[in-house]
Amino acid sequence: MLTGLVTVLDASTAAAAVYVVIIILAPPVMVYSFCTKCECREHSCAHVLPGMLAARMPERSGNTYTVQDVAGVAIPALLLFLFPQYWLAQRPMMLLLFWVLACAGLVEIRLFVCKKCGNTICPFCDKAGRQVE
């Protein structure tokens, strides 16, 4: 996100301010939408910072994730990843850096963090096939 922010800031302070707001607001929305239903959020969360934030939010009940829960993660994530693309496309090396870092982060989460996660209701959990309602 920092790569995107630096690139946007170089072109437009107003657009960079919008992206800063997205960077600040998107993670709590994503954590509330998804992590507050997790059974291990208060004691053994493998997602360290999101887990600490989720532990301070009200718990949400439910034994599955709904389409709304998934949208609460997908829409902010899309904003985080797609908003800076216009400016990044004008600087191919920054665009490449952005996506290399983003993909590395996603691979790291999937290969290491998800493997330690105990959230068996997560649609991405390898421990049991889960469905979104």
Say what the pLDDT of residue 13 is: 98
- The owner of tokens 């630096």 is 6
Q: What is the pLDDT of residues 34-79, one digit of tens each?
A: 888 887 777 778 888 888 888 889 888 877 888 999 999 999 999 9
Provide the whole-model pTM: 0.85
Neighbours of 85 (CB within 10 A): 15
Say what the pLDDT of residue 38 is: 82
Domain layout of the chain by residue ranges: 2-116
